[in-house]
Copies of this chain bind each other. A is one copy, B any other.
């Protein structure tokens, strides 16, 4: 008789990932699939993002921050669609060299976010890879039936609204890479920018407000200019924004003082994970007040009008052109 011994994979799941699977539908990760009863009167919002070491993060980034980024880029998508998280599935391929200590840190970081965002692990898969660490997360959210906020829907006269501050992620990437110009910033500012690159802040508090106020929304992951272009394009309108209205962190403001040319990074660099929304002008004050009460500052940076494409009015009122305008992996 062969008594089955748990494999290394089973032990890893049991020890590090089962504690994150608090949803009853996860079946303690001891079955082949998750099973859950969808909430009545709701649609489900589904998004899947894969992040790869050397492409979306650095292999030597802290393990907990890698886990958080993998989940948060998905939660950012859900939030921008007006969705509130239900749970997530994690597929992860580990390079041979990854140690148990690393996995412990990874699962600790992921577990913190599963709790703080109410997004337990529902299931997933672990495997080895001869290549870089790759993490694919599918996040599931809910919206009241018919209320998902789409990319299409911006109308002429709506304001172009963004949450938080823009450009920190792109400047953070420069910082992590050791950009010598940005080295003139203070240590605190450099740490702030790195943290913004490594661990984005999904704007989950905005989800119900976007459902109530926004004609259209998306999250900014590939650069404001390009993502605004996508939203304007599917909505059939032109978007005009003014760089003087861009909400900048103190660190980004000081960076622009040192290197005005980094405005292009701020507008096109990506990794913002802020919300971009089209809000009717007359409803904007109420939206902004509610967002502020929810702890998320928002800024109107321009407006939509008839036409196509994106118009960016620069610091000296000149029109800026960006070509591609968006980060693309291809």
Q: Which residues of A contact B (CB under 8 A)?
A: 1-5, 7-10, 12, 27, 30-38, 42-52, 54-56, 77-78, 80-81, 83, 89-93, 122-132, 134, 136, 138, 140-141, 143, 145, 148, 150-152, 218-219, 225-226, 229-230, 232-234, 238, 307-312, 319-326, 328-330
- Which 6 pairs show the lowest CB-CB distances between chains A and B? A131-B131, A8-B330, A4-B229, A7-B328, A38-B38, A136-B136
The answer on a CB contact under 8 Å between A50 and B4 is no
Contacts A50-B125, A91-B49, A329-B126 given; indicate if A83 touches B33 (C-beta within 8 A).
Answer: yes
Pick the residue among B7, B43, B136, B310 that contacts A324 (CB under 8 A): B7
For the complex formed, measure the closest distance between the CB of A262 and the CB atoms of chain B, giving whole angstroms.
18
For the complex formed, measure the closest distance between the CB of A56 and the CB atoms of chain B, giving whole angstroms.
7
Contacts A43-B37, A310-B4 given; indicate if A55 touches B127 (C-beta within 8 A).
Answer: yes
Report the nearest B residue to A56, measured CB to CB: B127
29 contacts between A and B (CB under 8 A): A1-B309, A2-B225, A2-B325, A4-B226, A4-B233, A5-B323, A5-B324, A8-B328, A31-B151, A32-B77, A33-B46, A33-B78, A33-B141, A35-B46, A38-B44, A44-B44, A48-B124, A48-B125, A48-B138, A50-B127, A54-B129, A55-B93, A55-B127, A55-B129, A126-B329, A126-B330, A128-B330, A130-B131, A131-B131
The answer on a CB contact under 8 Å between A35 and B45 is yes
Contacts of A31 in B (CB 8 A): 81, 150-152, 218, 234
CA distance A138 to B87 in the complex (A): 13
Contacts of A5 in B (CB 8 A): 323-324
Contacts of A36 in B (CB 8 A): 43-44, 46
Report the nearest B residue to A238, measured CB to CB: B1
CA distance A42 to B39 in the complex (A): 11
Report the nearest B residue to A3, measured CB to CB: B309
